[in-house]
């Protein structure tokens, strides 16, 4: 145990590594815990862990760990069935995850566990919170009851469930995904985004088109190729945010590529683009809500949640939801449309983090 662990209470933050969305939305809560004086152990793997290492400054009160987890594989189409076929492996992992976290907590003297969608990351006797907007997993109607029961069984192992969304109703950004009752202590945090602090009062129009690429391969690459073709004949500056940590900046004619921009630069680009195109991944949508940015949403093919959220935001908030096939054909509207509830981001999340952790700072584990 180092000096920081001896003088500061330790907590474990576990982050699901399917893409970077869970990492990006957890970042402000990790920063909040550090500001409250905690020694924070961050556990994830792959791109999510690399992203968090790159975006969090070095500190003697911050440590990173590789958390075991299954490698989910995606296809160009039919992802629902491919993911479903991998679920037995995922269920086995949840059980093994519990063993790993129990050993880790004992070795490191952990007092609190915060888990972003890692269902096995709780330890009996330790204060633990699960954060998820997926209280109802988007599955065919026939499987909804079974999926909800599974999530409820896992969620009840935690002391509380935190949902990064507004309460159920017309302002809810995840719709029915977060309205299921799976835990009596369910807290709605409102908008949660690491970009919120960079919101501009009066942004200028710096970029004609901005495309934010995200997701796992092969869809990340297909989206980037289509965006480049869409931008190629534009006479004004265009920007691609490629989502490749450590890749630097590249300029090809009128197209600038940022592989790993700072949060401030990314927030600025989204606000300064005349037309923004991005996935309908929920963390990306939280960023749009925090910045009050309209965008054309392109769900990743075969991912039921993104397809559901694309339809929901089209119906509820007036956004354009565009299939990837149309994107690849260049059939893209000239303007983004829509409106979002204008509510202060992060304030509720920070308040709940403070009220949860402060009493634990002086309580022995």
pLDDT tens-digit readout, 7-26: 899 999 999 987 788 999 99
Dig out the tokens for 227 from the structure. Answer: 């965006």
Coil, strand or helix at 221: helix
- Residues 335/339/345/348 CA torsion (nearest 10 deg): -160
Given this chain, do its domains 3-192+346-362 and 196-329 carry the same CATH topology?
Answer: yes
User: What's the average model confidence in pLDDT over 204-208?
Assistant: 95
CATH architecture of 196-329: 3-Layer(aba) Sandwich (3.40)
Q: Choose which CATH entry (3.40.190.10, 2.40.50.140, 3.40.50.2000, 2.60.120.1570) describes domain 3-192+346-362.
A: 3.40.50.2000
User: What's the average model confidence in pLDDT over 290-297?
Assistant: 97
pLDDT tens-digit readout, 296-306: 999 999 888 99
Question: How far does CA 357 lie from the centroid of its chain?
Answer: 22
User: What's the average model confidence in pLDDT over 233-259?
Assistant: 90
Strand order in the sheet with 62-66: 62-66, 39-44, 10-15, 110-116, 127-131, 160-163, 186-188
The Cα–Cα gap between 349 and 165 comes to: 10
**pLDDT exceeds cutoff 50 at 243:** yes
**pLDDT exceeds cutoff 60 at 77:** no
The Cα–Cα gap between 173 and 171 comes to: 6
**pLDDT exceeds cutoff 80 at 341:** yes
At residue 85, the pLDDT reads 47
Evaluate the omega torsion of the peptide bond into residue 218 and state whether it is cis, within 30 degrees of 0.
yes
Terminal CA-CA length for the chain: 15
pLDDT tens-digit readout, 216-226: 788 889 999 99
The Cα–Cα gap between 167 and 188 comes to: 6
**Going by C-beta distance under 8 Å and a sequence separation of 6 or more, which residues neighbour residue 174?**
133, 163, 165, 282, 309, 312
**Going by C-beta distance under 8 Å and a sequence separation of 6 or more, which residues neighbour residue 142?**
none
The number of CA neighbours under 13 Å toward the Cβ of 333 is: 18
User: What's the average model confidence in pLDDT over 223-235?
Assistant: 96
Task: Return the ∠ at Cα 305 (arms to 300 and 306), rounded to 5°.
Answer: 35
At residue 74, the pLDDT reads 46
pTM: 0.89
338: pLDDT confidence band, cut at 50, 70 and 90? very high
H/E stretch holding 313: helix 304-317
Domain boundaries, the chain: 3-192+346-362, 196-329
């Amino acid at each position: 145990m180092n000096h920081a662990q001896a003088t500061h209470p330790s907590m474990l933050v576990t982050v699901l590594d399917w893409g970077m969305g869970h990492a990006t939305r957890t970042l402000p809560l990790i920063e909040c815990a550090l500001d409250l004086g905690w020694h924070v152990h961050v556990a994830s793997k792959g791109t999510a862990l690399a992203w968090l290492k790159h975006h969090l400054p070095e500190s003697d009160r911050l440590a990173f760990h590789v958390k075991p987890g299954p490698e989910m594989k995606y296809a160009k189409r039919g992802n629902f069935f491919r993911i479903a076929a991998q679920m037995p492996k995922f269920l086995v992992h949840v059980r093994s995850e519990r063993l790993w976290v129990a050993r880790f907590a004992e070795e490191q003297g952990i007092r609190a566990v915060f888990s972003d969608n890692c269902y096995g990351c709780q330890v009996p006797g330790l204060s633990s919170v699960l954060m998820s907007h997926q209280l109802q997993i988007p599955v065919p109607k026939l499987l909804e009851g079974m999926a909800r029961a599974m999530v409820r069984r896992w969620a009840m192992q935690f002391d509380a469930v935190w949902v990064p969304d507004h309460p159920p109703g017309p302002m809810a950004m995840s719709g029915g995904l977060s309205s299921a009752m799976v835990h009596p202590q369910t807290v709605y945090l409102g908008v949660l985004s690491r970009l919120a602090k960079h919101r501009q009062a009066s942004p200028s129009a710096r970029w004609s088109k901005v495309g934010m690429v995200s997701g796992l391969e092969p869809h990340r690459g297909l989206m980037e190729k289509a965006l480049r073709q869409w931008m190629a004949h534009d006479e004004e500056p265009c920007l691609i945010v490629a989502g490749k940590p450590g890749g630097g900046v590249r300029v090809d004619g009128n197209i600038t590529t940022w592989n790993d921009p700072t949060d401030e630069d990314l927030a600025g680009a989204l606000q300064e683009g005349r037309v923004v195109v991005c996935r309908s991944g929920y963390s990306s949508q939280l960023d749009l809500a925090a910045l009050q940015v309209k965008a054309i949403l392109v769900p990743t093919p075969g991912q039921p949640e993104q397809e559901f959220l694309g339809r929901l935001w089209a119906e509820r908030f007036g956004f354009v939801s565009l299939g990837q096939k149309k994107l690849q054909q260049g059939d893209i509207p000239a303007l983004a449309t829509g409106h979002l509830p204008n509510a202060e981001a992060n304030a509720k999340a920070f308040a709940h983090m403070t009220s949860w952790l402060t009493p634990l700072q002086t309580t022995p584990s």
